[in-house]
Every structure is written in structure tokens, then in C-alpha cells.
Structure 1
Amino acid sequence: MALRMFEESDHAAAYLRYRMTPEEVVTRIMDFMKPKVEKKFNLAVDVGCGCGQGTVLLAPFFDQVVGTDISPAQLDVAQANSARPNVTYRQCPAEELPFEPNQVDLLVAMTAAHWFDRQRFLKEVDRVLKPGGCLALLSYATNDLELEYGDATSALNKICEEFSAVLQPFRHPLASASTSKIYLELFESCSYTDKEWNGRLRATRTVTVNSYIGMVETLAIYQIFKQQDPAGAKLLSDNIRNKLLGAMQVSSPETELTMVIKYFYMLARKP
């Protein structure tokens, strides 16, 4: 991953605390792989692994799982919180992976591939995957998150839309197109014929108001705003938090509600 972002230690720690883990998509990935191979798989690689939340989800299915990232801060958090003996981490770009040709059973990137040099990355994927090995890329649209809390649901989502609208001018150029469009283009660019696209997999998580705000604050779009205007970013977070609490008619930012995430993903098998 040649683009250097998410490298501050506080930001990496916030990733671990607030980002959601895509268990539902990992289940779909393994269902896609299992019909072709009866025995346990050898090696999975999670590219752009960040703090390793998604990496450890692969551990039960593989002899070895390696998470790779270009950020030392993210990898420090991942290693400090890894209790799986078959999970290790390596620092490297997504386009230059430290594996031999035809070595990898599964290569996955979870909410990371939009930061890669996409054509170089696909070439590297083809180099390291075994024949029959699988590529899985997944993400979600950060401007399509929803909150649910009884009769306040409609009001909450108008507030979410307001949060997203204020942040839109701070989108990074590499993510200026809609994220789903970027992944669909990756799907179409992949030369493998055995492949699947899923445009929307709905997942729900119980979160608090504070953890929803914290999750949004980990996004690149918010971090760019924060770098340019720290006071303005804090004011925005505080304002959105207060509006959410008002709509819910509660006083505690630790009040729980439901967050809806809409994942999209591609799966492809190397011939």
C-alpha cells in the first residue's frame, strides 16, 4: 500500500476500539473457498490489515495467516493485541508482497483496496495466489451508514446524512469516486472468470452514541478535516453527538443503539 495514511499511534488505537469486524463477509468468503478444497488451507494474507481486527477472523481456517500493512503504528497495535499463534504481521506495500509465486490460498483486503495502486495490486495478487487460490475484496460506503433507535430512527439518519455532508469536501482524491464504484471497477478489471460480486450485504452492530462518533472519527475523510481544522472537527463531533442524544431523548452518550453497515464485496478464484 504505497499511500501512507493512518500512521499516528492514537489513530491506530482508535481503529482497534471503534472499527467493525466483517464476520458476515468472512463467512461468505469461506463458503466460496470450501467447495474446491476439503482439507484445511495453508496460507491467508490480509493486505492493508490495519490493527488486525479482520486478520484474526481468518485464523480458524488456515495454518498461517499473515497481515500486511505499510503503517508501523497499525502493525504495533495489531501485534500487541494478537493472541493467535498462527497469526503474524509484516510491513510492506500492497503492491510488493513478501511471498513466493503461487504460495497464497486466500488474499483478502478489508476496507483497504481503494488506497492501493489497483492495477499493480491485481498483478501482485495473480503472482502470489496459488492456482485455485482466491481473492476477496470488501468494503462499505461510509456515507451509507444508518442508525436505528425506535421511533427516533428517521431523525437519527437525517443527522447521519448531515454529518456525512459536512465531511464530503474533505474526501481524499484516491477515494473521490464512490467506494462501491471503485470496488466494482476492481471486480471488472480482474481477469479471473470464476468470480462473484455482491453489492449489498446488510450487517448490524450494537454500538453506543460515543462509539458511533468514534468510528466516524477514524475515517480518512474526518482525519483530513481534523488535520486542517482541529477545533472545527471537534465542534462538529460534539454537535452531532448532542443532536443524536436530543433525537433519542436520552442524556448519556453511552446509550446503545443499532448501527447498520452495508458491505459490498468481490470474490474471485485464480484458474
Structure 2
Amino acid sequence: MNTAESQFDKVAEEYDFVNALLNDYSFSLSNMFPEKGRALDIGCGSGLLVEKLASYYDEVIGIDISNEMLNLAKSKRQLTNTVYLNMNAEQLNFNEKFDFIVSRTTFHHLNDIPSVIQQMKELLNEEGRIVILDNVSEVETPPTYVYVLGAIQDFLPHCLKFGMKNAIRVFKHNTSKSWLEHLASDKYLSEQDYYDLYGKLLPGCQFYNMGWAMGVVWIK
């Protein structure tokens, strides 16, 4: 079991709750391949985006390395046209191709992004789309206190928007030892790193800076 796998196994239930409450998937959905077909979500976690994509595609496959996350996906978001697989993003193993390949907040966990991008391109049908959304930071690994301060600053707005009970649960997750240990191992790209790396790997791709994240969209 690698580090990311064990870390996500530990926080799966609370991570699912927080992401179901807070995450906005509009970027991925607004950049979908426009026709029915097959979609792949790399780093699907507990299946939140897979479930949404299932309304648009004939088949959606979600892969992740955390069994606990996949168990949540199967128990909460298994549909007739969804498949969840334990698979390492750096070793994609499919016979079929896809019309839409998406990944949200997963790429900063990868050791070899160029290899993964090449595999994605090979798995993509002509005119298919790759959409990647991942964290961006001028500091490769922000110090722990930054995340704690962020959780404190978000607490009151979360109370007003989601209620005290939910806000407390979000705060406890975001400041938990397991989650902070995970964040301490993350390594983020800067904005310029995105332009340099993805601009080379996905010629002609479009970039979208959303503050906390960078979005990358490429059409084959």
C-alpha cells in the first residue's frame, strides 16, 4: 500500500462528506465531450463526479487506488452504467477507448505526469477531450498552519451556509491529524509550471486559473 492510498483509506468517510458538501464540479461538466459515449474519471474517490457524468454518458468508469473510497462509491453511487476499479493512474490498463477523460485534484499525487498524459492521449478517441483540474500554488508544499488558518477562516461562512453541525464536521476533518499529514505530503505546481509542463504535453490546450486550482482542457 502506498502513502496516498493509506492516507485516503483513513479519511474516506469524512472526505466523502466534505466533498459532497463543498465541491463544485461545474468546470468538468461544462467542458465535457458533447455526445454520448464512454467517460473515464482518474482518481474518482467516492464517485461524486462519476455519478454526475453517468447522466450524460453511456458508460462511466472511475478508477482510484483507495479501496475505502471505492467501497463508498459502490455503496452510494453505483448505477447501471458506472464501473469502479482499483487501478493506479500511472498504469492505465484498458482495451477500450474513451470520449472524455477527466481528473480532479489527483495529478499532484502522481510521480510521472508525462507518462500518465501519454497514456490518456492513447486512450482517447479522435475529437475526444481531456479535462484536468488540480491544485496550484506558488509554494510547492504549503506549511500546515496555512491549512489550519484556512479552516478557521472558513468556519463561520460554512456555519451560515451549511449549518453549525455540518460546519463543525468539516472543520474537524480539515484540521484532523490524518488529513493534515496527507496535505503535508502534497506537492503542487505553480501557474508557470502548468504552462510549461502541460503546454508541452498537450499542445494547444486551454488553461483556466481559478485561484486555488488550474484547469486544463485539450481536444484530440
Q: Which has the higher strand share?
A: 1
1:99 aligns with 2:120: no
Unmatched 5+ stretches in structure 1: 35-39, 150-159, 202-261
Distance 2:5 2:193 in 1: 19
Distance 1:27 1:93 in 2: 24
Does the 8 Å contact 2:28/2:102 carry over to 1?
Answer: no
> Could you tell me which of 22, 25, 29 is aligned with 2:24?
22
Larger Rg: 1
| 1:3–1:95 Cα change, 3 Å | farther
Distance 1:95 1:119 in 2: 10
TM-score (norm 2): 0.70
Unmatched 5+ stretches in structure 2: 138-145, 158-170
Listed as ranges, the matches of 1:1-271 within 5 Å are 4-7=4-7, 9-19=9-19, 20-30=22-32, 33-34=33-34, 40-100=35-95, 103-116=97-110, 117-140=112-135, 147=154, 149=157, 171-172=184-185, 175=187, 177-178=188-189, 180=191, 183-193=194-204, 195-200=205-210, 262-270=212-220
Distance 1:74 1:179 in 2: 28
| 1:186–1:14 Cα change, 3 Å | farther
- How large is the Cα RMSD of the aligned pairs? 3.5
Cα distance, 1:23 vs. partner? Answer: 2.4
Partner secondary structure for residue 41 of structure 1: coil
Between Structure 1 and Structure 2, how many residues are aligned?
187
TM-score (norm 1): 0.58
Cα distance, 1:8 vs. partner? Answer: 5.5
Distance 1:52 1:13 in 2: 12
What percent identity do the matched residue pairs reach?
20
1:204 is matched with none
Partner secondary structure for residue 54 of structure 1: helix
Does the 8 Å contact 1:63/1:86 carry over to 2?
Answer: yes
Does the 8 Å contact 2:4/2:109 carry over to 1?
Answer: no
